[in-house]
């Protein structure tokens, strides 16, 4: 999932490799800083972008992620320690999402690990986290190199992503395995990827080729999609976003600001039965304890986002709306609320409108993203 930019991010965010292309495609001129990288909130029509992503396919700038090439004889062992993934079990071309946890079992970052060759991996994370990589590499024969600045990264997501890519010449034969392609002289790594619930492919190539790739894809009718549409879709699936719904343990100002995987609906990414990872002992202990906080998906009536609004139950504040967006599919606002885990079983809540000073409260209802998907299917 694309992280959210912190409010004290670089005041003038850096352009991603695709920024020139994106800026020339943008009518809305609405931008946000994501980990210090300029990312489009919308290119003009959020509803059309949402439609593209949910019904056909959309083009997303993935330049805001930090990418590291990791290689060496101990690369797999190093990644198994650093992340919750079972990197050693991946075959070349395969990738898997995971987490980085700290020694207290709290989430530091969401990552994905992809095996490029036998002893070379691509590690994608939301920020470079040099200190943690350095700590983790002690005692391992491994090298890593931050390729964020030199690589261009675009994603094509949506149900028709594979078809669009095939038309453009980037098609991969195996739906779960990445390939290296040379299209008109440009080397592109095409690999399966996902933005929260939306499946698709990511394309990685030399940064200076971005404009050519962007043009090749958009000239075949692919619509560039901004963060607003992505946000609506991931809220429909109840997928949390680092920086908006929770902060990473290394960025948390107070100890209690950080969250365990179970408190932010990411428990599945920290499998306790697979290989050992940093903080597994603590995660195991946390799994046995009751959660302190919970991230709850809410349906809020009305059409206005309620980000930052207080959540009420039994006439007192029990949490805050961490993120929200209007969902065209449900015709209401969907939100993720960070609340006291003691109230996680309740169905109905009230949410205060964050900007209105009238004290008006809006009714909200818990919903289960998984069962909603089944209803629709």
Partner 1 sequence: MSAENEHQRGRIEGGFDAVIIGATVEGLAAATCLAKNGFKTVLIEAAADVGGPAATRGFAEGCKVSDEAHLVNALDRDLVREIDLYRHGLTYSERRIQTVYLSDRDEPVVLDGDLARARETLGPRVGDDAAAFEAFFKIYGDLAETLSGAFVKGLTAADGTALAKALTRLQKDVSEEGYALLKRACVASTRAALDPAFDSALLKGGLAFDAAFGGAAAPSAQYGFLNLLRRWAGESAGIHAAYAHPKGGMGALADALRRAAQSAKVDIRTNTAAKSILLEWDAAAGVALENGGQIRAETVISALDAETTYLKLIGPAALDMEAQADIARSPSNLILAKAHMALAKPPALPKLSAEALRGRFVICPSIDYLEEAFRYAKFGRVPPKLAMEFIIPTVHDETLAEGGKCVLSAWIHPAPARLHNDADTAALKGELLDKAIATLEAYAPGFRKSVLEAEIRLPEDYAAAYGMNASIWAARAPLLDQWLRTGVLQRGDRVDGLFFCGPEAVIGGGVSGGAGRRAAGLAVRRAKSRSSFL
Map the footprint of partner 1 across residues 92-121, applying CB under 8 A. Answer: 102-103
Written as six digits, the tokens of 279 are 């903080």
User: Who's near 374: CB < 8 A, 6+ residues apart?
Assistant: none
Measured from the CB atom, is 37 or 71 closer to partner 1? 71
- The β-bridge relationship of strands 58-61 and 223-224 is parallel
Map the footprint of partner 1 across residues 269-288, applying CB under 8 A. Answer: 276, 278-282, 284
Map the footprint of partner 1 across residues 344-373, applying CB under 8 A. Answer: none
**Alpha helices (runs of H) in the chain, residue ranges in sequence order:** 19-25, 46-55, 75-82, 130-137, 161-168, 210-218, 227-236, 280-288, 369-376
| Piece in contact with partner 1 (CB under 8 A), picked from 76-84, 200-208, 219-227, 307-315 | 76-84
CA distance 360 to 175: 49
Instruction: Locate the DSSP E strands across 136-210.
Output: 143-146, 151-157, 179-183, 186-195, 198-206
Minimum gap (Å) between residue 283 Cβ and partner 1: 10
| Piece in contact with partner 1 (CB under 8 A), picked from 62-70, 128-136, 170-178, 287-295 | 128-136
CA distance 168 to 170: 6
Measured from the CB atom, is 210 or 278 closer to partner 1? 278
| Piece in contact with partner 1 (CB under 8 A), picked from 21-29, 73-81, 220-228, 323-331 | 73-81
**Among residues 57, 70, 77, 306, the one that binds partner 1 under rule CB under 8 A:** 77
Binding mask 130-159 for partner 1 (x = CB under 8 A): --x--xx-xxx-------------------
From the list 246, 225, 375, 228, the residue with the least C-alpha distance to 319 is: 246
Q: How many residues interact with partner 1 (rule CB under 8 A)?
A: 20
Q: Is 86 in the site for partner 1 (CB under 8 A)?
A: no
User: Who's near 20: CB < 8 A, 6+ residues apart?
Assistant: 210, 211
**Among residues 255, 288, 359, 374, the one that binds partner 1 under rule CB under 8 A:** 255
Residues that bind partner 1 (CB under 8 A): 77, 80-82, 102-103, 132, 135-136, 138-140, 255, 276, 278-282, 284
């Amino acid at each position: 999932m694309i992280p959210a930019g912190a409010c004290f991010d670089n005041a003038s965010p850096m352009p991603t490799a695709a920024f020139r292309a994106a800026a020339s495609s943008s009518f809305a001129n609405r931008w946000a800083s994501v980990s210090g990288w300029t990312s489009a909130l919308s290119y003009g029509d959020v509803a059309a972008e949402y439609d593209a992503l949910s019904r056909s396919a959309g083009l997303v700038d993935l330049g805001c992620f930090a990418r590291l090439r990791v290689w060496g004889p101990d690369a797999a062992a190093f990644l198994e320690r650093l992340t919750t993934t079972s990197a050693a079990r991946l075959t070349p071309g395969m990738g898997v999402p995971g987490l980085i946890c700290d020694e207290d079992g709290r989430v530091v970052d969401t990552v994905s690990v992809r095996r490029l060759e036998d002893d070379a991996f691509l590690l994608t994370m939301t920020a470079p986290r040099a200190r943690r990589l350095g700590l983790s590499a002690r005692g391992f024969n491994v090298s890593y190199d931050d390729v964020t600045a030199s690589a261009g990264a675009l994603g094509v997501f949506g149900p028709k992503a594979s078809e669009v890519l095939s038309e453009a010449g980037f098609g991969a034969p195996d739906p779960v395995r990445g390939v290296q392609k040379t299209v008109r002289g440009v080397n592109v790594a095409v690999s399966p990827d996902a933005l929260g619930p939306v499946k698709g492919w990511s394309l990685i190539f030399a940064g200076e080729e971005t404009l050519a790739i962007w043009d090749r894809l958009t000239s075949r009718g692919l619509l560039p999609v901004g963060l607003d549409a992505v946000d609506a879709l991931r809220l429909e699936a109840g997928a949390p976003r680092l920086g908006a719904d929770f902060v990473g343990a290394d960025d948390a100002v107070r100890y209690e600001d950080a969250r365990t995987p179970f408190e932010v609906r990411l428990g599945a990414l920290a499998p306790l039965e697979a290989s050992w990872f940093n903080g597994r002992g603590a995660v195991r202990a946390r799994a046995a304890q009751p959660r302190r906080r919970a991230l709850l998906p809410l349906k809020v009536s009305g059409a206005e986002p309620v980000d930052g609004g207080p959540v009420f139950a039994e006439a007192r504040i029990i949490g805050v709306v961490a993120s929200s967006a209007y969902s065209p599919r449900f015709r209401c606002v969907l939100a993720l609320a960070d609340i006291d885990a003691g109230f996680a079983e309740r169905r109905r809540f009230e949410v205060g409108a964050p900007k209105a000073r009238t004290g008006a409260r809006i009714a909200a209802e818990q919903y289960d993203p998984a069962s909603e998907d089944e209803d629709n299917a």
